[in-house]
Amino acid sequence: MKILHDFLESVKPNFEKGGKLEKWHPAFEAFETLAFVPATTTKNGVHIKDAMDMKRTMITVVLALVPCLLFGMWNVGHQHYLAFGMEADLLDKFMFGFWKVLPLVAVSYAVGLGVEFIFSVVAGHPVSEGYLVTGLLIPLTLPVTVPLWMVALGAVFCTLLGKEIFGGTGFNFMNPALLARAFMFFAFPAFMSGEVWTDLSPEEGHTVLDAYSGATNLVPFDTDISLMQSASDMFIGFEQGSIGETSVIACLIGAAILVITGVGSLRVMLSVFGGGFLMGLLMNALAPEAANHAMHMPALNHLLIGGFAFGAVFMATDPVTAAHTAKGKVIYGLLIGAFTVLLRVFNPAYPEGMMLSILLFNVFAPLIDHMVVESHIKKRLKHA
């Protein structure tokens, strides 16, 4: 690291005021502060500093996403060989998924960070750190068959219209990665739903099995819940779906990393799961006689299918767009979980209710905080 540090110090004068590359100072600063904690000191206001700055926080979230990324790569290969009825070992499955997922991640980062750098150089402000996480979240919430040009378009959309237009990281009121997914879902529905979840690249000497179905668990959920996979399979992630969203256990490992490091809100996570579970129990109580109706699905299973766990751990906990008061976080999480189950049960057109639910309550998060603060003020005035 000393070699890198010395190199950066040697070229730094070129990027400072009066240097030959002054215009590119935001880009240089982004790389420098990513590699090393800045040595700057505060000039006014609070003078307490911590090495856990925004970049280190974002890197922690990226590390928490790694289990979902690795399992997703393996599952892409697993579903591919399963569709062709082929035997393959763990490494073969992982490497197949690795080469399919890597381009999506590379394009997401290259295009998104490219837009960030250009925007920062033109506007003359530091590069936002938020895209370190957004760049990985976008491909993990997409089917593996999505075209690369669409990933690039989503990265541009979320960077410009989801964040920069509001002033950059910290000023956006909706989760940028979910905005990108929503944009692609509504703009290109043929690439985001139906039988798009398994890569069916031709295998010489093999054809896709007659029994193969490209549907996710959310399809039998709407038609006949008796056809759904077992809860244990859904918990581990042996199912079709978005690259990083199928494994609940991988999401829980990520949740443990976020909670232990103090980066993610346990209160929000538990509230989202609690809201979904309670609404699932209510659906069970109101379910019609037909035993295969979606309202009969065990409440616990609602937390296992689709992107529920991924959304609860990595999306709902976004520190910028979530509620900030302690009681507000609980209300915010409960509403997201409950509304997700409601959407799934009563609106088959949008079976992955988690995306729309989080975006909806991103909008209402400031209002929830306002109501909580007002409630505290009224209580204190009564006892004044």
DSSP calls for 363-374:
HHHHHHHHHHHH
- Please report the pLDDT score of residue 31 as a whole number: 67
Residue 194 vs residues 65, 215, 314, 346, 362: alpha-carbon distances, Å: 26, 6, 25, 19, 27
How many Å separate Cα 183 from the centre of its chain? 14
CA distance 214 to 206: 17
Q: Are 234 and 293 in contact (CB under 8 A)?
A: no
| Geometric angle at alpha carbon 135, from 342 and 323, rounded to 5° | 45
| Per-domain boundaries in the chain | 54-191, 246-383
**For residue 337, which of 377, 281, 256 has the smallest C-alpha distance?**
281
Q: How far apart, in Å, do the first and last CA atoms of the chain sit?
A: 58
| 3-state DSSP assignment of residue 127 | coil
What is the full per-residue pLDDT of the chain (384 aa) written as tens digits? Answer: 677 777 777 777 777 777 777 766 666 776 666 666 666 666 655 555 565 567 778 889 999 999 999 999 999 999 999 988 898 999 999 999 999 999 999 999 999 888 888 877 777 777 766 778 889 999 999 999 999 999 999 999 888 887 777 777 777 888 888 888 989 988 998 888 878 888 988 888 888 887 677 667 666 677 777 777 788 888 999 988 899 999 999 999 999 999 999 889 999 999 999 999 999 999 999 888 777 777 888 899 889 988 899 999 999 998 888 999 999 999 999 999 999 999 888 887 776 789 899 999 999 999 999 999 999 998 888 877
DSSP bridge pairs for 206 = 203
Q: Are 236 and 249 in contact (CB under 8 A)?
A: yes
CA distance 157 to 81: 34
Sign of CA dihedral 153, 157, 159, 164: positive
In the numeric block, which tokens belong to residue 127? 């590069």
- Please report the pLDDT score of residue 272 as a whole number: 97
H helices of the chain, in order, are 2-15, 25-35, 54-84, 90-123, 131-140, 148-160, 176-187, 189-192, 218-223, 231-236, 248-260, 266-286, 299-302, 308-310, 326-346, 353-382
Sign of CA dihedral 255, 273, 68, 109: negative
- Please report the pLDDT score of residue 166 as a whole number: 77
- Please report the pLDDT score of residue 57 as a whole number: 81
CB within 8 A of 240, min separation 6: which ones?
Answer: 79, 197, 198, 214, 215, 216, 217, 246
DSSP bridge pairs for 203 = 206
Write a three-state SS string for 75-123.
Answer: HHHHHHHHHHCCCCCHHHHHHHHHHHHHHHHHHHHHHHHHHHHHHHHHH
| Geometric angle at alpha carbon 343, from 246 and 217, rounded to 5° | 30
CA distance 158 to 165: 10
